[in-house]
Amino acid sequence: MLEAVSEKAGEAEGKFSMQRQAHERDEALDAGEPGVEWHEMRAYLAEWLQTRPVRRAGKAKPAVP
């Protein structure tokens, strides 16, 4: 039980940390700090996609009678 509570607390802290970082980035953009240019993000995403294995939707397995 204590392990589960500890795990949930860790998950909540991680989520809070991510939200705080997103808020800080949003405030920085609103303050006029430069963001990521589209061509840089596009190149990053294209490279990222090339390093990932292609996942294709498989056919549903037949139900066992």
Domain boundaries, given as residue ranges, for the chain: 2-49
65 has pLDDT over 70: no
* pLDDT score, position 2: 84
Residues in the chain: 65
DSSP 8-state symbol, 27 = H
> Percentage of the chain with pLDDT > 70?
88
Instruction: Yes or no: say if 52 and 46 are a contact pair by the CB < 8 Å rule.
Output: no
Tell me the pLDDT tens digit for each residue of 26-50: 999 999 999 889 999 999 999 999 9
Kindly report whether the global pTM for this prediction surpasses the value 0.95: no
Strand boundaries in the chain, DSSP class E: none
pLDDT-based confidence at 52, cuts 50/70/90?
confident
